[in-house]
Amino acid sequence: MTAIAKRPRLTDDIRSARLTQAHEQLQSAVESLMTSAGWQQLITARRWLRSYSLNNVLLILAQRPGATDVRSFRAWQEVGRHVCQGERALRIWAPSTRRRPDPDTPEDAQDESAIVTRFVLVPVFDVAQTDGAPLPAPASATPERLTGDAPAWLWQATVAVISDDGFTVERGDCHGAYGHTDFLRHTVRVRADVAAAQATKTLVHELAHIRLDHDTRSLSRPTAEVEAESVACIVSACAGLDTLPYSVPYVAGWASTPQAAQDSAGRVLTVADAVTTALGL
């Protein structure tokens, strides 16, 4: 029987160096959110990296900008793939937990719920670093240009979510804009003279304004528009409607500080995930 090699223990110096590097990578990635390229990279990646927190998405992109599907060594094995020899792991943050103690409960009946004690760096790998069984193709349709068609179900599903939020949807004049949300009258209006792709993306954009609480949060108009359009990009991409080249062509300078950019990014990803879930994506 072949002995299984034990994972070498990290020295304090190596562990400290990795922590320092991770913090520096994260800080650099946060600062990149203030640039057009950095923000677009985040929005594009969210379609694929939906199971990770904002900070971990930023860390993954800092280490491997082209990453699309990132999982642990064991998770790749479970889908019939293996990490190629010589590949260098990406490092992300994961919670370290322990079982919640209950001195009044017998050991064999202890509550197995766990509490997070700290966060540690753990290794993960992108699909491009693996080989093996092919993965199922994404369920989304082929992306369409904004001048073309859009999945009919996406318009209908978005209307339903907006209705659940207490707003009605109408088509008509938006005074030069593609769409408008009236928070006082609880109405969402989309221009009637635009292609289906543009109309559908605009409808998702207006839903984002609602879900981002833009009627109550004190934001500049550029910041509110970048947030809403970014949510629309993520949701539309998950549905097979590629809008990024048209939606966020230039965002450099929209955020006053890296912290403001990080706060907006966190809210954008949270709302985008909630909307995609509500739409059944």
Q: Are residues 121 and 160 in the same domain?
A: no
Dihedral, CA of residue 274, residue 276, residue 280 and residue 281, to nearest 10:
-140
Dihedral, CA of residue 13, residue 18, residue 20 and residue 23, to nearest 10:
-160
At 50 the pLDDT is 74
Closest by Cα among 251, 229, 223 to 39 = 251
End-to-end CA separation in angstroms for the chain: 46
CATH code, domain with 254: 3.30.2010
pTM: 0.70
Find out whether 95 and 119 touch, Cβ atoms under 8 Å: yes
Q: Is residue 1 part of a domain?
A: no
The sign of the dihedral angle between the CA atoms of 177, 167, 207, 143 is negative
Q: How far apart are CA 77 and CA 165, in angstroms?
A: 42
**DSSP bridge pairs for 122:** 92
Domain end point (choices 131, 165, 184): 131
Q: Are residues 122 and 203 in the same domain?
A: no
Q: How far apart are CA 158 and CA 169, in angstroms?
A: 10
Return averaged pLDDT per consecutive 10 residues of the chain, 281 residues in all.
48 72 72 80 80 87 91 92 95 76 50 62 94 72 56 93 97 91 97 91 95 93 87 87 63 70 90 92 84
Q: Are residues 17 and 69 in the same domain?
A: yes
Q: Are residues 223 and 188 in the same domain?
A: yes
Distances (CA, A) of 49 to 68, 234, 273: 7, 11, 11
Q: Is residue 147 part of a domain?
A: no
Q: Is residue 142 part of a domain?
A: no
Domain end point (choices 102, 131, 160): 131
**Burial of 277 per CB tally in 10 Å (0-12, 13-18, 19+):** exposed
Residue 167: partners with Cβ closer than 8 Å, 6 or more residues away: 181, 186, 187, 188, 210
Q: How many CB atoms lie within 10 A of CB 57?
A: 24
Q: What's the number of domains the chain is made of?
A: 2
Q: How far apart are CA 277 and CA 269, in angstroms?
A: 12
Q: Is residue 244 part of a domain?
A: yes
Q: Which domain range does residue 83 map to?
A: 12-131
Q: Are residues 262 and 177 in the same domain?
A: yes
At 89 the pLDDT is 95
Rg (CA), the chain: 22
Q: Is residue 136 part of a domain?
A: no
DSSP string, 51-113: TS-HHHHHHHHHH-TT---EE-HHHHHHTTEEEPTTPPPEEEEEEEEEEPP-TTS-GGG----
Residue 217: partners with Cβ closer than 8 Å, 6 or more residues away: 224
At 152 the pLDDT is 85
At 229 the pLDDT is 87
Q: Are residues 105 and 157 in the same domain?
A: no
Q: Are residues 27 and 88 in the same domain?
A: yes
Q: Are residues 166 and 266 in the same domain?
A: yes
**DSSP bridge pairs for 118:** 96
Q: Are residues 161 and 118 in the same domain?
A: no
Q: How far apart are CA 7 and CA 128, in angstroms?
A: 24
**DSSP bridge pairs for 169:** 188
Q: Are residues 228 and 112 in the same domain?
A: no
**DSSP bridge pairs for 182:** 187
Q: Are residues 99 and 178 in the same domain?
A: no
Q: Are residues 42 and 158 in the same domain?
A: no
At 2 the pLDDT is 42
- The residue type of 11 is T
Q: Is residue 107 part of a domain?
A: yes
Q: Is residue 141 part of a domain?
A: no
How large is the greatest C-alpha to C-alpha distance in the chain, in angstroms? Answer: 76
Q: Six-digit token pair at 174?
A: 């938006």
Q: Is residue 68 part of a domain?
A: yes
